[in-house]
């Protein structure tokens, strides 16, 4: 199984592409495609048929997938983007921020 450095619930910043500079929370991660859905980033217009959930139907704005390589984790302590490392602390494999050396 592939291990990614970004997980659901992390705060990330878009570092390149059309939405450069935008920040948001990761809502879901797709391991097969190496992509994630970030709240409020990469919004697309989608036409939806009327249904029980949406009786009116019409055009709906939704978040689309964005590639993991275009995202950088935001360090909670400093508020800046940081790289992620893995190491063993107290017998457990943990993610840590390379800038502040804090466990994420």
pTM to 2 decimal places: 0.84
Examine residue 40 and state whether it is found in any structural domain, yes or no. Answer: yes
In whole angstroms, what is the distance from residue 102 CA to residue 77 CA? 8
Neighbour tally for 65: CB within 10 Å:
16
The domain tally of the chain equals 1
Q: Residues 82, 75: contact at Cβ < 8 Å? A: yes
Residue 1 has pLDDT above 90, yes or no: no
What is the domain-level CATH number for residue 44? 2.30.30.30
Structural domain range at position 91: 11-97
pLDDT in tens, 67-80: 999 999 999 888 89
Examine residue 1 and state whether it is found in any structural domain, yes or no. Answer: no
């Amino acid at each position: 199984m592939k291990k990614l450095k970004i997980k659901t619930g992390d705060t990330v910043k878009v570092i390149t592409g059309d939405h450069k500079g935008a920040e948001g929370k990761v809502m879901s991660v797709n391991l097969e495609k190496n992509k994630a859905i970030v709240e409020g980033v990469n919004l697309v217009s989608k036409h939806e048929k009327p249904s029980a959930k949406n009786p009116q139907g019409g055009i709906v704005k939704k978040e689309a997938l964005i590639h993991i390589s275009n995202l950088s984790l935001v360090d909670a302590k400093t508020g800046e983007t940081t790289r992620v490392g893995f190491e063993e602390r107290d017998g457990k494999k943990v993610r840590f921020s390379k800038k502040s050396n804090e466990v994420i």
